[in-house]
Every structure is written in structure tokens, then in C-alpha cells.
Structure 1
Amino acid sequence: MRAFWLAWQFLTRFPVPAVGFDGPTAGRSLLCYPLVGLLLGGLLSGLAAWLAGTQAYLLAGILLTAWVLATGALHLDGLADCADAWVGGQGDRERSLRIMKDPAAGPVAVCLLVLILLLKWAALTALLERHDPSPLWTAPLLGRTAILLLMLTAEYVSPAGLAATWLAHADFRAMRWTVGAALLLALGLSGWLPLLAAGLVLWWLRRAALARLGGATGDVYGAAVELVETA
């Protein structure tokens, strides 16, 4: 349970029991990421059911606000850093990595965040009008699974980054089984089309990260969550 609470503590802003941090627990916590995503989806679905009858566009705004608050905008921050680095880095690896460490957000990052949030709001409105709650479960599940897929397929290029400790103690064999189970669950919940869309987006992001950085960083993981959820 300590591994789960550590994953929940890192990926959400909900209060949890105090968990002592150590390398092995951090490594095991990675296996809980898809479960955290699924539980977030369950909370969103429950909120949607509780507020059933609210106009779709208003309920979509409420759900999106809850979504952002529940994660503390953690992954949006990664997406913003990637946007600035992609443009400002001009293809230079070291320059891009330096920009990612800058806490300030440039105009490109702000524009991208607005567009992503608008797309999420529009998508939520559409699914609420169709009375189809399954994407509320699938999107957060696939978003956190995307982190594991990048960890399995792209070198981590920020040795001093937060994820370095997690990866140093990761069980990659168990991670593959976890990813497989999460993808099968997503397939059962929403069918193959969301998986295809998420896969294409993640393939593009991984390719771009390899070309510009030579691998992935924590910000790339965050960008993957946001882009896959939106897809």
C-alpha cells in the first residue's frame, strides 16, 4: 500500500497518509500509475453522475476544473515547459533542457495550454451530450499509462531530475505487464479508437523528444499525460 499512496501523493493533490520516501517504494509506485488514473476517472465519472441534469457545457467546465485541481496542474506544467523548449530551443539539446528548467511560461506555452483546455472542454461537452461516461475513465487511465510507455521506450536524459530515483529502482518487467493490463482495460472500456488516437499522439511525442532531447524528461512525461488525455 505504501507504493500506491506514494503514487497517489505524487500524481494528485488529495490528502493521503504520510508515506516515507525510499528508492524501492518509489520504484514500485510506478506500477500504480494506471490505477491512480483509473481512480481519477472514477471520481470524475461520479461527479458527472452527481451533477446529472446540469447543462452539458457547464458540467464540462466543472469537470475540467475538478480535473485540473485534482492533479494540481502538474502535467500542464510539463506541457508548458515542453512547448517553450520546443520553440525556444531551436533544435539545440542543451538549450532546450535549460529552457525546461525555467519556471516562467512564454507566450507559446500559454497559447498551447489555452488550446488544450479548450479542446478538453469541447470533448467533455460532446461526451456529456452523448451520455457516454467511458472516456472519463479511459482518458486518465491512458494518460498515466503513457508515462510508463515512455519510461520503457525512451532514455531518461535528466539524471538530476525527480524521476531518476523512481527509474533507478523500477521493475521494468512488471511495468510491461502493468502497461498490457491497462491497455486491455482501456480497450474494454472504450474500444480500440481511443487507443489508436492515444498511440499516435504518444508516438509523435516520443519521436519529437528523441529528436530534440535524445530521450525523455519529467516534463515530457507530463506533456504525454495531457496530450494523450486530450486525444
Structure 2
Amino acid sequence: MNEAWRDFRAAAGFLTILPVARDLELTGERLARSMGFFPAVGLALGLGLVVLDWLLGALVPRPVLDCLLVLVLIVVTGALHLDGIADLLDGLAGGRGDRERTLKIMKDSQVGAVAVVGLVMLLLLKYLSLYHIPPEQKKAALMLMPCAGRWIQVVLAAFCRYLRPEGGTAAIFVDQAGERESLLATGTLLLACVVLFGMKGIFLLFLLGLAAMLLIRYFEIRLGGVTGDVLGAASEMVEVLSLLLVLAVV
């Protein structure tokens, strides 16, 4: 139990700016093992959003509050995944089908017009989707969104290969994460879906699983695998998708 708690703290320390793992030795083995707890960290983030929603619900107009909730999630996670989707969009736009050129552009710290437009549209879609979710489903959606977004990282890491031969931060996860981590992460998401949405949650998980298969297939064909930027981008995309699915299904 103590070891599992340490792995959870390691996952939280990696995924957020919170100082919860400073006393831990974050070896490659521990970081890879901590991936199984990524969705659980997402649930903790979602719970924090639910508490904030409850505290400010009577003080702040609903449109402003939903915008604040999106902003808080960005701040707590250090905008890590937004940086990933910006790099991915720039790479896909400028690479023009050339994998090596795409990876080179993704590594460039400069941000192009495509990335800016993509980030604006993604955040707008996330905000509008959250705003239009009925009040009785708002708390469940706030819990599901970050949980599903971190679950997709585990799935991609477990079933795709790492692209950059020189290595990178995400190489630790992609090279070492496997069946244990993917099963633990998927079990956490399944439990969350059922508890939050009842039997409709199983259908939500099915749709998220289908989206995961499509993403795996796309990144394998288009890039040949994944990088840290790809994992972060997928997290943002699935967060938005989870909100859209709640709107459409629940």
C-alpha cells in the first residue's frame, strides 16, 4: 500500500506543479510504474474542480465560473499538455507527410499560426462544452474530463513505440509502461465511468476506447509512434472528447 501511494505521488508530481513528490527518488522504473495511477491523479484534479465549483457557484456567474475551472486546470498542470498539442499541430502542418521534418518542427520551441489557431479553438470548444453540460451532470463531467485525458496517455505509451532515438522525458514511460499500467489505468477509468454515469458510463468507456484505437492507428501511420508532445496532445483531445460525449450521450 505504501508503495502504491508513493507511485501515486510520483504520478501527481509529474503531471502537476504541486510539490507532492519532492522527497521521492523518481527513478525511471518508478515513473513508468506510476503511469498506472495517471487516471487516479486525473480524478483528484477533477475532485478539486468540483470543490472549486461548489465554493464559487453562488458567487460567480456560470459562464465566468466555467472559464475559471478550465483556467485552474491549465495552471495546476503547468499547461504541459497544451504545449504538446501546439507542437504537434505545428509539426503536422509543416511536415507535409515527411516524418523526419515533422519531428524536427515539433522539437522547435517557436509557435506557428496553426498552433495558435488550434489552441484557441481547442480551449474554446472545451469551455463551451463544459458550459452547456446540464447542472446535474456538471460535477461528473468535471471528474471524467481529466481522468480520461490522463488515461489516454497510458494507453498510447503502452501500445506505441517511442520515436526519438536520442531519447526524451516521455521515453521512460513509453519504453517501460506495459500491460500492468494499461490495465490499472483502464480499470480506474471504468470504475469512474460507472460510478459517475451508471450504465451509460460503460457506453462512454466504449466510445473512449474506440477513440483510443483510432489515435493509436493514426499516430502509428502518420508518425510511426509517439513522443511526449503526442501524449500531451492526445490528453487535451480526449479531455474535449469526453465533454462532447457527455453532452451527446448522457
| Greater Cα shift, 16-25 or 64-73 | 16-25
Structure 2 counterpart of 1:20, from 22, 25, 29: 25
CA deviation digits over 1:93-152, x for unaligned, max 9? 100110110111100000010001001111121126455310100111111110111122
How many matched pairs?
A: 230
Residue type of the alignment partner of 1:69: V
**CA distance, structure 1, for counterparts of residue 48 and residue 233 of structure 2:** 22
Compute the displacement of 1:228 (Å).
0.3
**CA distance, structure 2, for counterparts of residue 213 and residue 8 of structure 1:** 29
CA deviation digits over 1:2-34, x for unaligned, max 9? 322221111011122412221221221111111
Q: Does 1:163 align with 2:167?
A: no
**CA distance, structure 2, for counterparts of residue 229 and residue 134 of structure 1:** 13
**CA distance, structure 1, for counterparts of residue 134 and residue 31 of structure 2:** 37
Partner of 1:42: 47
| Greater Cα shift, 159-168 or 73-82 | 159-168
Q: Does 1:5 align with 2:9?
A: yes
Compute the displacement of 1:197 (Å).
4.5
Describe the shift of the 1:212–1:163 C-alpha distance in structure 2 as closer, same or farther (beyond 3 A): same
Describe the shift of the 1:179–1:102 C-alpha distance in structure 2 as closer, same or farther (beyond 3 A): same
Q: TM-score by structure 2 length?
A: 0.85
Describe the shift of the 1:92–1:185 C-alpha distance in structure 2 as closer, same or farther (beyond 3 A): same
Q: How does 1:55-94 map to 2 (within 5 A)?
A: 55-94=61-100
Residue type of the alignment partner of 1:5: R
Describe the shift of the 1:116–1:98 C-alpha distance in structure 2 as closer, same or farther (beyond 3 A): same
- Structure 2 gaps, min length 5: 242-250
SS in structure 1 at match of 2:133: helix
Q: How does 1:55-134 map to 2 (within 5 A)?
A: 55-127=61-133, 129-130=135-136, 132-134=138-140
Compute the displacement of 1:162 (Å).
0.9
Partner of 1:153: 159
Partner of 1:229: 239
| Greater Cα shift, 90-99 or 159-168 | 159-168
Structure 2 counterpart of 1:206, from 203, 216, 238: 216
Describe the shift of the 1:205–1:169 C-alpha distance in structure 2 as closer, same or farther (beyond 3 A): closer
- Structure 1 gaps, min length 5: none
Compute the displacement of 1:60 (Å).
0.6
SS in structure 2 at match of 1:133: helix
Check whether the contact 2:37–2:185 (CA below 8 A) recurs between aligned residues. Answer: no
Instruction: Calculate percent identity across the aligned residue pairs.
Output: 40
Residue type of the alignment partner of 2:18: F
